[in-house]
Every structure is written in C-alpha cells, then in structure tokens.
Amino acid sequence: MNFLGYARPDGTVGVRNQLLVLPTVVCAARVADLIAARVPGAISVPHPYGCALDPGNNEDTTRILIGTGANPNVGAVVVVSLGCETVDAERVVREIAAHGKPAELVRIQERGGTKRAAEVGAGVAARLRADLAGAGRGAAPLSKLIVGVECGASDGQSGLSANPVTGVAADLLVKAGATVVFSETTECLGAEHLLALQAETPEIGRQIVAVVRRVESELERGAGSDLNDITPGNVAGGLSTIEEKSLGCIRKAGTAPIREVIAYGERPSRTGLILMDTPGQDLESVTALVAGGAQIVVFTTGRGTPTGAAAAPVLKVCSNTPTFQRLRDDLDLDAGTVLSGQETLAEAGERLFREIVAVASGKPVAAELGGHYEFAVRRGGSACIVY
C-alpha cells in the first residue's frame, strides 16, 4: 500500500513539507517567533533549553535539535542562534544539512540584535519557503513510514479501547512493512516480563528488562515523596498503580516482535516494532520519537489533551466517547465505540490504520488545525518526577 509524500534527498519521505525556524537556545526563541510570524507556513519551535547544561543534557538537546530538523517532514530549516550558547549551532546546521536539505544559520549577536536578526532571518525563511513551494507529493510505499505510538492523560479505559485499537493499527502497519516505535520506559514498568517475551531475540528481551530496571531505580530515589508514579488525572480516571497503567499502555504497541531497543531520539536501524527508551512525560517522549524520524505520532488519551509536535502530525485517539465529545476540537478519533459495542477492536483498528494513511497523504489532524507544535527535551531526573 502507498501514501502520497515528499521524497527527500536522503531517501526518506515526508508526510509534510515544513519550514522550521529552530532556535538553538532560549535566548533566541523570541527572534525565531518573529521570523516565523513574517513567513506564512513557517513554524517556530521556541524552547527553554540550549545553554549552561551539563554535558549529558547538552548532547541530548543538540541531538534532539538535529533530529527534529532532519525529520523527513521538514523541507528546510532556519537555525537561530544567540552566539554564545553551549549548544553548538554550527554543528546543528551541519548535521541537518547532511541530510541534503537546506539549513541556514542566523546569529543574533552577529546580526546586531533582535530587529536586524529577525529581518535577515525572515528574508532567509522567505527564500527557503519559495523553494519548498515547488515540491509536490508522490506515491511512496508504507515501508517508508515510521509511526510513533504514545499515550498521555490516560484513564482506566485507555488500556481497554484506545490502546488496543492502536495496537491493531500498529500490527497492520508492521505487516505492511512500516516501522512502529513505542516509548516511555516508565510505562513498561510492571509489563516488562511480557515485552521481554515479545522481543525478537533473548538479547533484546534482556535489554528491555535492563532499561526498565534502570528507570525503576531512578523512581526509587523519589520514594517517600508525596508524588505517585502516576498522575492525579490518571488516578481520577480510575488508574491505581504504575503496573496497571503500563499493562494497558503496552497494548498500543501491538503484537509484532520487538526488533530493537533504541536510545532517546535515535533513529531506528530496522523496520518493524521498535522500543525507544524515553521518560514518561508525553512531550519529552513525542519530541524524541519525532527526532528519531517518526513522520506521524498516534497519541492515545482518556482524559484528553490538545498536544501536537513541532515536526509531525499527532493523531489523537480517545478512549471514551464523553471525553471525545467534550474535547472534540483537540481529538481525531473516538475509540469509545469499542466499549459501547458499536465496533470491534479489529474494526476500529482498521479504521485508525486507514486514517494514518490519510494523514500521511496530507489530511490535517486536530493538533495542526489548532496550531499545536509542542517541543520538549528530557532533563536529567525526568523519570523521578510525577508523570
């Protein structure tokens, strides 16, 4: 089966053709916003990171910025730097450009401040936009698709409807040759024995158990605090423990063999079902999936969330009909139908699969219509706080 996408020089295929304005540091966020505001269709990615980070966080932030710019959905990038930050802006530009796409650098200190940098940046952005406008969609096989699956603002019904429905769609995607990446290591806690059995090899199974053990030791450091391992919204929605949340959560990955465990923001080297080692905070996880090359993220929710992602459409699947109706503008698909008996899991999963292919071919999702382009990078200690 095919979708209609934008062929990129590095062999990947975008489902969108975005012009991204990417600040390397919080100090450049305002200028990035000003540049994007002057060029129709440009998307700025303001964020609070980029400087005075410890080496681990600095490298994480740098890799995530590069991965976001390199995502197949991005046609061209304007990188906005202050000029003295610890993230290496030239490296960001160089490694995005290595994917064969235009990436240009605007430095605020070099250009003489906000106003001048915004003017220069808007000129660069307008030129890149004009080049992008000539590109058209062409047929591409589903094997070119990387789909992230994520859950957030979960409730007691997420694991009974939206997640297993997404699991059916994930199985159909893998069967069609696509890659499906699930994440949130914290939400494998209590379900790792099942995931290890689902691993393609015993070695991959051991890797899964090892990353879950690491996260659990991080969580134990927070023992005695008032923070639970699940959010107040999860509890209000009927979830009682991290084990219950995890066992429902993993159902969205489907039943295919797990073929690889990859690091935060890393691109999969294989097709099929992949686990990315991320924190449980939704946006820190979604951002890493997108930086790892996911062109679409399927996001299940029970309580409802409006979130999107900087460089990829986020297709939201709701676990129950009352929430779907209440947050109708923010959500795309109602999986509450499987609880009311209107649809079987297989039918709803097939419907979601067709919707994913439609979104890949250009159908906008609710998050895009709402202007949601969130971006968040994990921080050291992410796992220890409430999620």
Partner 1 sequence: MAGEVRLLVVDPRDNVGTTLSPAAAGDSLVLVGAVESPPAPRLVALTDLPAGHKAALAALPSGGEVRKYGAVIGLATEPIAPGELVHVHNLKSARGKGHVPGREEEA
Q: Does 172 bind partner 1 (CB under 8 A)?
A: no
Q: Does 122 bind partner 1 (CB under 8 A)?
A: no
- In the bound state with partner 1, the residue whose beta carbon lies nearer, of 102 and 222, is 222
Q: Does 189 bind partner 1 (CB under 8 A)?
A: yes
Site for partner 1 in 53-72 (CB under 8 A): none
- In the bound state with partner 1, the residue whose beta carbon lies nearer, of 12 and 319, is 319
- In the bound state with partner 1, the residue whose beta carbon lies nearer, of 190 and 272, is 190
Site for partner 1 in 136-165 (CB under 8 A): 155-157, 159-160
Distance CA 148, CA 144 (A): 13
The only residue of 216, 332, 334, 343 in contact with partner 1, by rule CB under 8 A = 216
For 184: left if phi > 0, alpha if psi spans -120 to 50, otherwise beta; the answer is: left
Minimum distance of partner 1 from residue 217's CB (angstroms): 9
Q: Does 240 bind partner 1 (CB under 8 A)?
A: yes
Minimum distance of partner 1 from residue 317's CB (angstroms): 16
- DSSP character string of 315-328: EEEES-HHHHHHTG
Count the neighbouring beta carbons within 10 Å of the beta carbon of residue 264. 24
Stretch that binds partner 1, among 49-57, 218-226, 263-271, 368-376 (CB under 8 A): 218-226
Q: Does 343 bind partner 1 (CB under 8 A)?
A: no
**Cβ(300)–Cβ(151) under 8 Å?**
yes
Q: Does 237 bind partner 1 (CB under 8 A)?
A: yes
Q: Does 320 bind partner 1 (CB under 8 A)?
A: yes
Minimum distance of partner 1 from residue 366's CB (angstroms): 22
Minimum distance of partner 1 from residue 148's CB (angstroms): 23
Q: Does 347 bind partner 1 (CB under 8 A)?
A: no
Q: Among candidates 157, 186, 167, 89, which has minimal Cα distance to 320?
A: 157
The only residue of 100, 238, 257, 380 in contact with partner 1, by rule CB under 8 A = 238
Stretch that binds partner 1, among 109-117, 118-126, 189-197, 367-375 (CB under 8 A): 189-197
Site for partner 1 in 249-278 (CB under 8 A): 251
The only residue of 4, 26, 339, 358 in contact with partner 1, by rule CB under 8 A = 339
- In the bound state with partner 1, the residue whose beta carbon lies nearer, of 179 and 246, is 246
Residues 6+ apart with CB under 8 A from 348: 161, 165, 168, 335, 337, 338
Minimum distance of partner 1 from residue 194's CB (angstroms): 7
Stretch that binds partner 1, among 104-112, 141-149, 222-230, 374-382 (CB under 8 A): 222-230
Token pair of 333 as six digits: 């698909």
**Cβ(91)–Cβ(85) under 8 Å?**
no
- Residue 311 main-chain phi, psi, to 5 deg: -125, 20
Beta bridge partners of 37: none
Q: Which amino acid, one-letter code, is at 65?
A: L
Minimum distance of partner 1 from residue 57's CB (angstroms): 23
Beta bridge partners of 65: none
- DSSP character string of 114-174: HHHHHHHHHHHHHHHHHHHHT---EEEEGGG-EEEEEE-S--TTTTTTHHHHHHHHHHHHH
The only residue of 102, 222, 233, 370 in contact with partner 1, by rule CB under 8 A = 222
Burial bucket for residue 91 (CB in 10 Å: 0-12, 13-18, 19+): middle
Minimum distance of partner 1 from residue 355's CB (angstroms): 24
Distance CA 63, CA 58 (A): 9
Q: Which amino acid, one-letter code, is at 232?
A: P
Using DSSP, state whether 74 is helix, strand or coil. strand
Residue the block writes with tokens 């690889």: 260
- In the bound state with partner 1, the residue whose beta carbon lies nearer, of 31 and 239, is 239
Q: What is the DSSP letter of 339?
A: H
Q: Which residues bind partner 1 (CB under 8 A)?
A: 155-157, 159-160, 186, 189-191, 193-194, 216, 219-220, 222-225, 227-229, 235, 237-238, 240-244, 247-248, 251, 302, 319-320, 322, 339-340
